[in-house]
Amino acid sequence: MFTSWKSLAAVAVGLGSFVSQANCETPEHPELTWISEDPTLPKVVIYNARGTILSASNYSRLDNVNYGSGPPVTVDQIIGNVSEVLKLAQLAVVSFPVSGGSAGLNSSLFLNITQYANRHLCTEGSDIAGGIMFHGTNTLEETAFGVDLTLNCSKPFVATGAMRPDTYISPDGRSNFFQAVATAISPAARDRGGLIAFNDRITSIYYSTKTNANTPDTFKALEQGNVGAFLGGQPYFYYTAPSYPNHRPHFDVTNTTELPSVIILYGHPNRGLRCLAHLYEQGIPTVSVTRSVTGTGAPGTTEGPVFYATYLGGPQARIMLQLAINAGLTLDEIRDLFESPLRDAIYAPAPNNEWYY
């Protein structure tokens, strides 16, 4: 029933060339070339999956609609346009081949990124402070979520992008880029899981979603709130670390090259639970998420044919289900993965146990 995704895409390493003071390889990671003005600064790897942050318009400086037709911006160029970033960190770039915009990407991208990030950031003795990811905003939350659930260390991984092309009269990508690097090198950013730096705010990847198709103020964790904000370009965190999202799981994809296919079904009148029950009878795990922008469904007192996700949206639940199936979890184990936080909260307290049972 489950069909395979495409095999892992090849990875090209982008090498910075415009900075004259230092371009040196490290013995731990010889594939990385560091763009640097000061070899004593923290090291940050840019995982480049392009997106609007590296897009340009050939129409005018007011075009934020048809900008895909302009000559693409390179990572070297955006670093040159935000040269202040080299006062914060040394940068290396790993570029991933993408085409057709972020809406056309698949799970192989986050597998590629997380496997590189685990080698770079999480290898014992690594001197790399953190990583950031450039990504198109249409599916940024999905790729970032996949990396968040599979990164095996507490170093910062910060996703960012832009809603306006770099040629716009006031591009947001340059500020987002600087702030992402500032977050990646911050000791206070550790032990929080993956983060999104966007529009002067810091949110948890685990709970974030794109809420507006057009405006820079788009990535939000509506119920859970912001983790922090930026003042003078620097991160200010509202809560002390560690502040991992509750019940956030981890999956090992070290040797994974493809994930099982999981689709999203949109429920509507005249399409009830009968179809979902049929899938369950065939041994196909099915996760129910709310159609609302935020919130959660709740499992009943007895097990049903669908599993309820705990405050996850459809795209996030899909990725978690892919990873769970890939890990070999049984139906009961997958149900427990998704539902145990809800059941513990609703039914486990003594009075509730009495009232419901």
pLDDT tens digit sequence for 168-186 = 999 999 999 999 999 999 9
At residue 117, the pLDDT reads: 98
Long-range contacts of 338-344 (CB under 8 A, 24+ apart): 338/287, 338/307, 338/308, 338/309, 338/310, 339/299, 339/307, 339/308, 339/310, 340/247, 341/246, 341/247, 341/310, 342/296, 342/298, 342/299, 342/308, 342/310, 343/299
Q: Which residue among the candidates 33, 40, 52, 254 is catalytic per the annotation?
A: 52
Minimum mean pLDDT range among 156-170, 194-208, 267-281, 305-319: 267-281
- Amino acid at the residue 154: S
Q: Mean pLDDT over residues 53-66, rounded?
A: 94
At residue 274, the pLDDT reads: 67
Q: Mean pLDDT over residues 322-337, rounded?
A: 95
Q: Mean pLDDT over residues 191-204, rounded?
A: 98
Mean pLDDT, the chain, whole residue set: 88
pLDDT at 334 over 60: yes
Range list for CATH 3.40.50.1170 in the chain: 12-237
Task: Please check whether residue 146 is in contact with residue 319, taking contact to mean a CB–CB distance below 8 angstroms.
Answer: yes
| Cα gap 34→37, rounded to integer Å | 10
pLDDT at 106 over 60: yes
204: burial class by Cβ within 10 Å (0-12, 13-18, 19+)? buried
- Amino acid at the residue 172: D
Q: Just give the CATH number of 12-237.
A: 3.40.50.1170
pLDDT at 52 over 70: yes
At residue 18, the pLDDT reads: 34
Q: Please report, rounded to a whole number, the percentage of residues in the chain having pLDDT higher than 70.
A: 89
Minimum mean pLDDT range among 126-130, 226-230, 266-270: 266-270
Specify the pTM. 0.90
Convert the pLDDT of each residue in 132-155 to its tens digit: 999 999 999 999 999 999 999 999
Q: Mean pLDDT over residues 339-352, rounded?
A: 89
Q: Mean pLDDT over residues 1-15, rounded?
A: 26
pLDDT at 204 over 50: yes
Clarify whether 52 is annotated catalytic. yes
At residue 19, the pLDDT reads: 39
- Taking Cα atoms as reference points, which of 323, 331, 344, 293 lies closest to residue 151? 323
pLDDT at 10 over 60: no
Q: Which residue has the tokens 């939000």?
A: 220
pLDDT at 2 over 70: no
